[in-house]
Every structure is written in C-alpha cells, then in structure tokens.
Structure 1
Amino acid sequence: MSGLDIVETPSPNFNARDAEISMIVLHYTGMRSAEEALARLCDPLAEVSAHYLIDEDGTIHRLVAEDKRAWHAGKSHWRDIPNVNSASIGIELVNPGHEHGYREFPPAQMGSLIPLVAEIKERYGITRGNVVGHSDVAPARKEDPGELFNWHALARLRLALPRPTRNLVDPGWSDAGFMLALQRFGYDIDDAPAAVTAFQRRFRPEMIDGEIDRECCCLLLALLLPQPQGDD
C-alpha cells in the first residue's frame, strides 16, 4: 500500500469471502483505549475483527488481509447487499463511543483515514454511496461512527456522499413515501424509527429525533438524484 505506514497486527478472526468487495464500512471501537480494542479484535473467543484499526494518533493497524472476510458488520444490509461482511472492508476508529465518553475524531486520525479510504475506494472501484457507517448498515443495532464523525472531510474529496445543501426541493412525501424512498436509497427499514434515526445521524447530525420532517424529505430526495450537491 503506497505512502501509508501500516502496523501488522494480525487477528485470527476471518474467513473466506463469498462476494466481491464493493463497500467500505466505518466504525468506532466503543472501548476505552486502542489497546483494549485491539485485544478484543484479535481475541479468537470474541469472534469480531476488522481489516484496519486507526488509533487517535493516526497509527494504522492491519488486522485482516483485504482478500479475507473480517467480522465487523454483523447482521446488516445495504442496498442489494444482504451480507455486508463479505462485500466490504471494515475500518475501526479508536473512539470510546457513546457509552464511554464519545468525542470528536482527532485530525491525526482523520489524516490517516482519508488516504486509506481513498486507496481502498480506488482499488476496488467503490462508489461514494457505498462508503457508509455501521449505523447505516445496521440501524436497529448500531450508532457508530456517530454524529461527531466528520463525513464532510471525506465528501469534499469525493470519498463519500455529501450532505445536500443546494437546490433542495420538498417532494411532499407522506411518511410511508419517505420510508419507501429511504429503502430505495439503501437502508433496511424493518425498524422504521431506527432507520430514520440512522439517516439523520449520517445526513443531519445536529437534530436526531427519529421523526420524519420536511428537511429529511428534502435531503433524501437530493441524495436520490444522480449528483447530490453539497458544500464540498
């Protein structure tokens, strides 16, 4: 991998893929330290892992080779992909998460994440819409990387979808119409409030209430257009 210093920290927790790589899934560790997170991700009894872990100081650890299936997404779904683990690269970001003192992701950490995502995205031809958070693919179970994650930093480099900010139009959807559109965009809507919450956490993090409103409808319509326009 060009230009990136990688610390090899092998995890035994992987198996063979049964799908082509078409996604990147971002997580936070939700643990008190990088050491604690690495210990768990490398513990065969835990049966969890990721391809990469990035510490808050920017250190990148490779736990599982990209051609193997890491166990990071659990029961999950995105667009037409029911087995996200087999189709994705999982990246864990060291952060205590909502249970242990959730905080912003520091510049050094983002500075390592951005080129890593860029290289993976280019290597596999991954679309911006398939660079997602754990909460996007498992809205009923997860909330990481959470509302403090700087998606804009990725979006302005075309590494993720932007939050639409221009030419917003209210489609006048009913709540049922919004949910159908949300499903079309990619979310699992079996738990409707959780799906709405996940959408807000990703695209309107300043107000997360799980309620469908006009702003949510405007944002979602813009994201369904071929070229959503944001401030990136």
Structure 2
Amino acid sequence: MQHTKDVLLLEKPIIEKQEDEAIAEDKQLENVQEKKVQAIEQKPVVKSTEELSKEKEELVPLKDETEENKKLIENDSAGDTEAPNEKNDKETFHQNEETTIKAGVPTINASLPDDNSEARVTPITHVVIHFSSNVLAKPQDPFVPEDIFNIFRDYGVSAHYFIGRNGQIYHLVSEDRVAYHAGKGNLPDFPNYKDHLNDYSIGIELAAIGTKKEMEPMMSESAYESINPSYIGYTDAQYHSLDLLLHDILSRNTTIKRDRKHIVGHDEYAPTRKTDPGSLFDWSIIGF
C-alpha cells in the first residue's frame, strides 16, 4: 500500500505538469492568433488610382476657398484704409494708438473717467503743452501722479498724457476722445478754434512748477520760497520723454505739423489766464 501511495503521489505532479503544458500551448496559440489579427488590422489600405484622383479633386475647392477668403480680407483692409467710415476710422485709430504707444513709447495706463472727456468728431491738428502739480496741498511732495489725477477727476478736467519728473509717461485719455485741458482762448492763425482748441488738440501735462511770478496766481511768495528748488522747472528725463512722445503722436496724426504754430503752450493760447509751460520750458531741447 505504501508503494501504491507513492505512485499516486508521483502521478499527481505529472498530471499537473501535463495540464500546465496544455494551458501554455493554448496561450501560445492565442498569442499567435492575436498577432495575426493585429497584422490584419494594421495592414495599410491600398487605394486605387481612381479613388486617389477623386479625393484630390474633392480637396481642390478647399484650397480655392482659402485663397478667396484671403483676397476678401485684403480687400476689406484696403477699403478701411482708403475710405473708412467714421465708426471704422475711430476703431482703427484706437487700435493703432494702443499698438504704437506700447511698442514705440512705453506708457503707464492711468485712464480717467469718460466723464472727463468726450468723443472726438474733428481732426487733430495741434498739441498743447502744460505743467501741473499738487504744490498747494503738498508743497513738500507735489508730484505724486495719483494726487494730480485726483485733482483732474475732482475738477472734471483732463489731458491725454502726463509726464512725471522721472520721464514716465501716463496715458490718461485716448486720442480719439476730446480731453478738457485748454479751455477758453485763441490762436491768431486759427480764428475758428477760438474757445474750442480742445476739439482739435492733444494735451500733454508735465509735472513741474514755474517761476515765482508764474505761480503768483496760485500761491503766496512765502509758500513759493519754501519749495524745494529742484521742483522748479523741468528735468532732462521729461524733455527726452516728451520728444519721443511728440514723434510718436505726429507719426500717427499726420494732420499735426511739427512747428510752433501747431505745437503750442497753454500760455500762448490763453495768455491772460495761464502761465504754463512758462518761461522755464526750453523749446529748443525738443527741436524748436
């Protein structure tokens, strides 16, 4: 019996081995069949010459359609350039302004409320130079831009640009809008502009303080004498930025001529009311 038991014990592993071999063969067969199926699925589809020609003919209209769209876009652009209507002209001008300013002359966006300006419907022919400060409220720190912008907001006035003491240019009002910076006045060579120079101009404010005489309407002599002397007049950085800004403005507004009849001081337009940019402003530094 012991012998029989041993035989039975030996036979069991043999049977299990045979079963394992059979299973392995089945798996191997399945793998072979699976590879054949994959090969069939991956086999490239061979198309006839007739089918390929037909597909090519179907693709041709797509190319023509693309070329036609391109021509339409070019024609639309040409139409906007040659004879734009008022709405398109303003939209295009605004886009050009943004692109040119950012690319050519870096500015800081400090937009004033729309209530401080209005839509422009007249051509731009002039640039008016001003100075401004917060010297009455803060004589020891009169050129903080936001303080000056708050004055503009409170009084309902504005300019298109403001140039700080370090030459930074702040963009306050879009050029396609009329800023409230010039007020009443007159230019002898432009009688039709009487009291309406805002409509035809771009206003640029520079952070500065004039001479004692020029500041008399605004502050006492003792208050003026307490001002830091470095605050009086203009900085080299301001002249440099102003020159760059003028070049940029004139390159986009060909209706403005670069001469002293079209680029003027506020005191030239309103001599009985205004003293800016005043006698300390050196026009020769910016080419006049």
Instruction: Name the CA distance, whole Å, in 2 between partners of 1:61 and 1:34.
Output: 13
Distance in 1 between the 2:209 and 2:281 partners? 13
Greater C-alpha radius of gyration: 2
Deviation at 1:30, TM superposition (A): 4.2
Partner of 1:114: 243
- How far, CA to CA, are the matches of 1:39 and 1:93 in structure 2? 16
Code of the residue aligned with 1:8 in structure 2: it is N
Unaligned runs of 5+ in 2: 1-100, 136-141, 216-223
- Greater fraction of residues in helix: 2
Match of 1:4 in 2: 105
Whether 1:54 and 2:163 are equivalent positions in the alignment is yes
Given the alignment, which residue of 161, 169, 172 partners 1:63?
Answer: 172
Identity of aligned residues (%): 36
Aligned to 2:208: 95
* One-letter amino acid matched to 2:163: I
Q: RMSD value over aligned CA atoms?
A: 1.6
- Give the counterpart letter for 1:94 in structure 2: A
Match status 1:138 vs 2:267: no
Q: TM-score w.r.t. structure 1 length?
A: 0.62
| Corresponding residue of 2:134 | 31
> Deviation of residue 122 (structure 1)?
2.5
The CA deviation string for residues 119-174 of structure 1, in whole angstroms up to 9 with x for no partner, is 1122212111200000011111111000010100122xxxxxx4xxxxxxxxxxxx
- Residue 20 of structure 1, CA deviation: 0.7
Residues paired across the two proteins, number: 154
The residue matched to 1:38 in structure 2 has which SS?
helix
Indicate the SS of the match to 2:178: strand
Distance in 2 (CA, whole Å) between partners of 1:122 and 1:131 is 14
Offset of residue 103 of structure 1 = 1.9
User: How does 1:1-232 map onto structure 2 within 5 Å?
Assistant: 1=101, 2-12=103-113, 13-32=116-135, 33-35=142-144, 36-41=147-152, 43=153, 45-78=154-187, 79-80=189-190, 81-82=193-194, 83-97=196-210, 98-99=214-215, 100=224, 103-125=232-254, 126-127=256-257, 128=259, 129-155=261-287, 162=288
**Whole-Å separation in 2 of the counterparts to 1:140 and 1:71:** 18
The whole-number CA distance in structure 1 between the counterparts of 2:143 and 2:175 is 21
In structure 2, give the amino acid aligned to 1:143: T
TM-score (norm 2): 0.51
Q: Which of 73-82 and 55-64 deviates more? A: 73-82
AA partner of residue 105 (structure 1): Y
Distance 1:76 1:16 in 2: 21
Residue identity opposite 2:246 in structure 1? V
Q: Which runs of 5+ in 1 are unaligned?
A: 156-161, 163-232
**Residues 31, 96 of structure 1: 8 Å contact kept:** no
Partner secondary structure for residue 58 of structure 1: coil
Q: Are the counterparts in 1 of residues 209 and 233 from structure 2 also a CA contact under 8 Å?
A: no
Q: Name the CA distance, whole Å, in 2 between partners of 1:7 and 1:29.
A: 18
